[in-house]
Each structure stands twice: as structure tokens, then as C-alpha cells.
A and B are shown apart, each in its own frame.
Chain A
Amino acid sequence: MPEEPDVNPQEEEILDRNIRKRIEAKKQLREREAGQENVIAKRILEALQSRPEGMNWAEIREMFDKNLSDKQIRQALLTLKTTAALTRNQVEKNGEHPGERWFLLAAS
């Protein structure tokens, strides 16, 4: 048998207010993550500019603090690969993981 909540308008208002706060907090977290992702992407680009032979995943991972997750770094790499706005150059993945290498292509 389903259990129904017993809720009055004041309680419902509190619940809805809390939901709004959680939505806002999630939005802000995403914005912070996006900002951090740009910083990561910039560092990878700078490193690749002095490494024409490219870098593999382990070398890229080593550039960053352990507090930074693999997911965040991979997301930044993905953004570099797909977002032309960051640079006139492109970052390309050569080969499949774990032998993948990332390198800059010459500006077109």
C-alpha cells in the first residue's frame, strides 16, 4: 500500500525553498567546475606547445595535483578537442587509450 505524506502548506513551502537552494548550489558548482576546467585546459595547451611530440595520459596526469580527478582532466582534454574557441590550434588524440597521445596541430 502506498504511503502518503501528510504535509501542510507551510511545510511544502519549506521543502520547495530547500529544493531551490539545492538547484542553485548545483548550478554554482557546475560554474566553478567549468572555470576550473578552463584553467586545466590552458595548462595542457601551454605544455603541449613546448612538446611537439605530444604527451601521453600519464604525462598529462602528472602535471596536476592528485586532488584533481581524472574525470576533470579528461573533460578538459575533451573540451580542447572540441572547442575551437580556446585556440586556433587543435588538440588531437592519436591512438587509443592506454597508448593515446595528445598533441597540437599547426594552426590552420
Chain B
Amino acid sequence: MRELLTRFLGEGAVPEDVAHMVGALDDATVHLGVGPDGQQIHARIEHADFEQWERHLRKDKDGKVYIWNEKMRIRADKQRSGVGASRLRAQVENAFYGGIAYIACHAARVNAQNPDPQRSFIGFFLWPKYGFDQTLDELEKGTANADDVRKGTPAAFPEVAGMIREQFSDELESIQDLFEEEGGPEWWQTNGVELYHAVFDLTAGSRSLEVFNDYWLDPKKGGIPLCLKNPM
């Protein structure tokens, strides 16, 4: 564990740093462990408001340290209270300050456990609205993690990427680009597919940060911009 901590976060890193970067609440209990491949830190967060909450700290093939948002399920009586967005905000702010390159998740449409379309997932069209993105090239050719996360869905969606380029523009490079086109979000809501590696880019000035910051600038969300300096 210590060796992974040092490899990911540098000399002097302590387990509390991981709890901080994944956006755990102050009164949560965070259990850290090494993933089965020995190459990642798994954080399981226990809190009264959550049924499930798990984050993985990893390094990608380019050497970038990132957080994989494995799962988060808020207890039924606490859902729709804004706690999900506020935890993402804490994660974004703390991970940004901690030098994490990006946050990623599987933004799904198909509910493998319940294929009824009425029970399908909404992450594929809602996560991009928070700033998560995936390139059309990845949609077309598949992401490196596709086989790890897909459950009966195709590894890649070349026909969907082709339709986007044909119906909108050849110049579009990502789902965020599509969402900036007239009719783009509606098209994606109808025709969109699994985003196996939806990425929230934590690079200063990134579009992800811009989109998410705009959300918090809304008066109904308090109008307070993201704190991208030391939030401590």
C-alpha cells in the first residue's frame, strides 16, 4: 500500500490523502486496500447516507494518475438531495489540488441486470452534462478498458460515431463537441450508447472544469465557483 501511495501521490503521501481526493465526507469511514492486480488502490467509503461508494486510484498507460469512479449509490431517502453533485464537487476540487490528472467512470445506458428499457441507465447522457467526455475515436474503436466493464454490450460503436460525423460534422471530436451542436444532446439521448471511459479532465482550464463550474455558478446552486486552489 505504501509503495502504491508513493508511486501515485509522491513521497510523504498518507492514506488520508486518498480519502480526501475521492471526496469522502468528513464523518465517513474509508477502507483502503490494494486491488486484485496489485496496481491500484481501492477506496471503499462507508457513510450512513450511502449504500455503496467505491473509488479506485490508478495510473494509466501514459503514467497519468487518475481516479476511477466505480460505484456510488445513495440511500433512497437521501436521493435527489444534491449530495451526489456535492460529492463530485469535493472530489474534483481535492483531486485537482492533489495533482490527479482526471476522474473517469463508465457512463452507461444498458442495464445488464435489468434489460427492460424502462430501467435503463441515464449516465450516458447525464455525465456529459457535468463535464465528462469521451472521444469519437474511442467510441469508434473502443476504449482500452471496454472488455473490463462491458456486460454483453459491444466493445466499440463505429456506426454511432459514423452517424454523428455524418449528421453533424466531420470536425466533431468528442461527445462534448456533440453537446455543443444544435440538436446534439437530444440526438445523443435517443441514439447514444455506452461510454466505457468517460473522462472528467482535471487539467487547469479544461472544458470539463468549465462545464462543471458553470453548473455551480447558477444562483440556484449558490453561485460559488469551484475552488481550484488549496481547498484546505
User: Residues of A with Cβ closer than 8 Å to B?
Assistant: 1-8, 10-12, 14-19, 21-23, 25-27
Contact = CB atoms under 8 A, between A and B. Distances in A.
Contacts, number: 84
B61 interface: no
B87 to A, nearest CB: 9
Contacts of B121: 2, 4
Given A14-B215, A19-B129, A6 B80 contact: yes
Contact of B182 (A15, A16, A27): A27
Given A14-B215, A15-B215, A22-B179, A6 B108 contact: no
Interface string B77-101: 0011111110000000000000000
Chain B contact residues: helix, strand, loop or mixed: mixed
B70 A3 contact: yes
B162 interface: no
B144 interface: no
Given A6-B80, A11-B82, A23-B184, A18 B215 contact: yes
B182 A7 contact: no
A101 to B, nearest CB: 28
Given A19-B129, A22-B180, 6 more contacts: A1-B149, A2-B107, A4-B121, A4-B122, A19-B185, A22-B211
